[in-house]
Structure 1
């Protein structure tokens, strides 16, 4: 029969246990292992008698992982279990977590001539892990792709890649792998699709694209008309139609006046012509 120095089983339904560690006083916590096939989940010995010098520690609560992919950090509430099944000496500890190692593709844009940086792992986590992690960078120039056959390696052992400054030649896709140096397991893989925009092609400065009146409104904390609010476009359309209606009215009135004058001239000429013919007939008689 196995001894307490080898393993200790605790009912998960009893404590809501998510993990279990065993260790003697002053030693580090061990990791919880599954029982061998065919063995029972019941304690191999009486749970009411703990050997001296041993303690059971269970994780009763844990926060979600700090990141959605790659290595992250979570907080766990760990408590000691007494022989009577009570929890005591609870404490919060931080531990590493990993939900998914593949982070996908991120699309980024940078202005040419300005410094830019790609970060593969958060600085806080990089400081915590120290030399436990290794970083590998690869680059596919001029393409936005996730085809690993199109990448070639870059010498950069740092978790961040800096451009001082960014150039058009830096456009492309960058792949970063985070590995555990102890096992060479890939803990994170992320792709950065970078587009470097020339400065003379587009101005990314929002303030420079505003008129003087809009800059004054923005400085006072007021929203400039037509600046993303969606109200300026209907007003512009309404003003356009009002102006078009005004032109139509003016054109109609002008056309009517001109036609009236022309009709008056024609009628006047016809009247004079008829008067002359009548006078000529009278003189002939």
Structure 2
């Protein structure tokens, strides 16, 4: 241990002694004029990936930067990106007999070209899960699975893996949780599933809403000029009616006052 400590101390002292000499020799190095005026191509900015999972695109701004930091000949370059290749689980519920499709592509991937990828599907039949041990190979070479029509036996979790054909790198994994419900088990029509009391309450609310709509909704059918005349006539009618009521009240009040006035002898 003492030998190692002594060697470390000696090495440190030697480095400290030669450091000024090394810095002095570097200060005497001359940089050629060609290197001083040289410029390099650098990515100065980039946008976030267009998708949160799977294969997306980003746009890089590339410029030539000289030794003084001046940017010239800037251009935009579009490139592929993968922020996260696992896209999680999506749930779907369909009735028996209805056509349904499971699509593993996105708009960005279609722009690259569907032939640039390799698609592999696996199925965990009858359950909704993301446990990869429970999946078995589902043979289909396409990026879409068409169920026409959907059957109860089609229920389960479908896993789609998308790989680049050139590198075999997985760029996307997506799970589809599919539930296929028979018509005689669950009625998907909301109106039919209501009780008589709920239907009556819904009809009453609809009637009130219709009355309000018929009163208020009639206004837009008139033009601006007709609406103004309509409001003007209503105002005049209200004013005349109010004047008649006030005048009649004052007349009866005066008659009462005359009857109660004492007669002079």
TM-score, structure 2 as length reference: 0.56
Native 8 Å contact 2:55 2:108 kept in 1: no
String of CA shifts for 1:18-59, please: whole Å, max 9, x gaps. Answer: xxxxxxxxxxxxxxxxxxxxxxxxxx9864233xxxx73322
Contact conserved, 1:113 with 1:167, CA < 8 A, in 2? yes
In the TM superposition, structure 1's runs of 4+ consecutive aligned residues that sit over 6 Å from their partners are: none
Aligned twin of 1:153:
137
Partner of 1:85: 69
Which 5+ residue runs of structure 2 have no aligned equivalent? 1-30, 213-265
1:192 aligns with 2:198: no
- Secondary structure of 1:64's counterpart equals coil
Is this contact kept in 1: 2:122–2:135, CA < 8 A? yes
Contact 2:37/2:66, CA 8 A, preserved across alignment? no
CA distance in 2, matches of 1:203, 1:47: 78
Go from structure 1 to structure 2 and tell me whether the alpha carbon gap of 1:84 and 1:133 turns closer, same or farther (over 3 Å shift). same
1:175-228 per-position Cα deviation (integer Å, ceiling 9, x unaligned): 1101111111111212111111122332334466674737957x97x9xxxxxx
Which runs of no fewer than 5 residues in structure 1 stay unpaired? 1-43, 223-285
Structure (1 or 2) with the greater helix fraction: 2
Equivalent residue in structure 2 for 1:100, among 80, 84, 90 = 84
Whether 1:131 aligns to 2:119 is: no
- Flag the structure with more relative contact order, 1 or 2, with Cα contacts below 8 A and sequence separation at least 6: 2
1:48 to 36, 41, 65: 36
Aligned residues: 174
| Equivalent position to 2:102, from 118, 122, 134 | 118
* 1:173 shift after superposition: 0.8
Normalised TM-score (structure 1): 0.53
Q: SS of 2:58's equivalent? A: strand
Partners in 2 of 1:209 and 1:60 — Cα distance? 60
Alignment-derived partner of residue 74 in structure 1: 58
Distance 1:90 1:213, change over 3 A: farther
CA contact (8 A) 1:74 1:94 kept: yes
C-alpha contact (below 8 Å) 1:48/1:84 kept by paired residues: no
CA distance in 2, matches of 1:110, 1:80: 56
